[in-house]
Structure 1
Amino acid sequence: MNIQYFDTYDAMSLAAAQMVYTSVQARPDLLLCAATGNSPTGLYLQLQTLKAEEKGDFSKLRVVKLDEWGGLSSEHPATCEYYLQHYLIKPLGIAKARYFGFNADTQAPEQECTRMQAQLAAIGPIDCCILGMGVNGHIGLNEPAEKLVDHCHMAQLAASTLNHTMVNGLESKPRYGMTLGMQDILAARHLILIVVGAGKEKATRQLTAGKITNQYPATHLWAHPRVDCLIVG
């Protein structure tokens, strides 16, 4: 794991964007797995700037959604769908046929996870996976557990996860999550882990210690041969 520390969020976001940009330049139809939330927003804004300045063509890029809150309408502003449409898909001009993700509107989440697993098998492997880390060390919605799940699955959400800024103000919180599993993530060719935000000090110490434990799922990234971990602070 290549760990880099940054004094500011903007500096970290620029460094992450340069990694993605370089990869897209080398492979225009790259399959990008995109996380949501506060951590990667600056990265996506930097990619928007590159496109606006005509320094990058992202039209051939393929995008797969990392995870989704369950039980919310796909048009709800708290969903991962809404976020990605706003920060990545529409600004970069990604065609509908080049975007893949969990359907937030599904009434059959287990079947939706099965569908996504089959779709990932058809379009993968993931070339570059953007990840954030939760205060409890989760990545995607792979929560701490005795045994982590390998592939796409419904996730029971930890209390700390339900305090995420995307959903903590909702009167009706998500009832579950849908997420790529740990092996789906580790099968990606390149992982970019962004660590930023209050309350993550303990999880960050666990991560940087280099000991793999299911109680901090992000530590499993040590088993991957190519991880860039970008930490602010």
Structure 2
Amino acid sequence: MRLQVLEDYEEMSVKAASIVASQVTLKPDSNLGLATGSTPLGMYNNLIKMYKKNLINFKEVVTFNLDEYVGLPADHPQSYHYYMFDNFFDKVNIPPEKIYIPSGVGDDLKQICKKYDQSINSHGGIDLQVLGIGKNGHIGFNEPDNKLRTNTHVVKLTEETINDNSRFFDSIDDVPKKAISMGMSSIMKSKKILLLASGEQKAEAIKKAINGEITTEHPASLLQLHSDVIILVDKNAAKLLATTNT
């Protein structure tokens, strides 16, 4: 693991965008694993700025999103499909046929999950996987448990995750209780992983991810087993770390 502590969220976002841009520059047909939520928004905004300045070209890139809520159609304002197009895809030149987001709507969710894994594998796996981290240590929607699913799967969201995500909905009752999540196998098989965390509320999760016991009860701790992980945090998210590297 390589840890970089940045001054604030904006500096972290700029650095994250530069890492993604370097990946695409070195390998224009990169397979990018992408995350949603509030943390990567700054990264996406900086990538859009770079694209508008002709500093990066996404025309050969293939993307795979980590997750999607079960029961929300693609055009629902809180679906991750909507999030990605509204915050990134509609503003850059990734061809629509190269964008993969698991559907949370369908009669056979198991088959949807299976086909999603097949799509990832048929493209040769993920070159760079961007991750956020939940306060409980989840990555994607791989929630703390005594065991974790390796493949893309339907997961029951924990009460903590539902509460955390309720800020995006009119009511906590509107938050879906299940999601489709890329499994730990695809995440861990990624050639490079970029984990982002900002804010004091993520400090405990980051501490356990980097210095804690490797356990499925804190899924992010499994990243200690990966050979190429970059962790970008701002000072607030790093405040519980005994030592920091830049």
For normalisation by structure 1, the TM-score amounts to 0.95
CA distance in 2, matches of 1:30, 1:58: 9
Letter in 2 for 1:209: N
CA distance in 2, matches of 1:47, 1:169: 32
1:140 aligns with 2:140: yes
1:213 aligns with 2:215: yes
1:14 aligns with 2:14: yes
CA distance in 1, matches of 2:80, 2:111: 19
Offset at residue 124 of structure 1 (A): 2.7
Moved more, 168-177 or 40-49: 168-177
CA distance in 2, matches of 1:28, 1:57: 8
- Which secondary structure state, in structure 1, belongs to the residue aligned with residue 68 of structure 2? strand
Offset at residue 167 of structure 1 (A): 4.3
- Which secondary structure state, in structure 1, belongs to the residue aligned with residue 201 of structure 2? coil
CA distance in 1, matches of 2:140, 2:124: 17
Residue of structure 1 in register with 2:238 after alignment? none
Residues 34 and 130 in structure 2, CA contact (< 8 A), matched pair in contact too: yes
Offset at residue 160 of structure 1 (A): 1.3
Letter in 2 for 1:181: G
- Which secondary structure state, in structure 2, belongs to the residue aligned with residue 200 of structure 1? helix
Structure 1 stretches of 5 or more lacking a match? Answer: none
Which digits, 9 at most, give the CA deviation of each residue in 1:114-141, with x for residues without a partner?
Answer: 1111111111310000000001000000
CA distance in 2, matches of 1:71, 1:58: 30
Residue of structure 1 in register with 2:41 after alignment? 41
Residue of structure 2 in register with 1:182 after alignment? 184
Identity level (%): 30
Letter in 2 for 1:141: F
The number of residues matched between the two structures is 233
Residues 162 and 168 in structure 1, CA contact (< 8 A), matched pair in contact too: no
- Which secondary structure state, in structure 2, belongs to the residue aligned with residue 203 of structure 1? helix
Q: CA RMSD for the aligned pairs?
A: 1.4
Which digits, 9 at most, give the CA deviation of each residue in 1:50-77, with x for residues without a partner?
Answer: 0111111111111111111111121111
1:72 aligns with 2:69: no
1:226 to 221, 225, 228: 228
Residue of structure 2 in register with 1:199 after alignment? 201
Moved more, 153-162 or 108-117: 108-117
Which digits, 9 at most, give the CA deviation of each residue in 1:59-98, with x for residues without a partner?
Answer: 1111111111111121111111011111221111211111
CA distance in 2, matches of 1:140, 1:120: 15
Structure 2 stretches of 5 or more lacking a match? Answer: 236-246
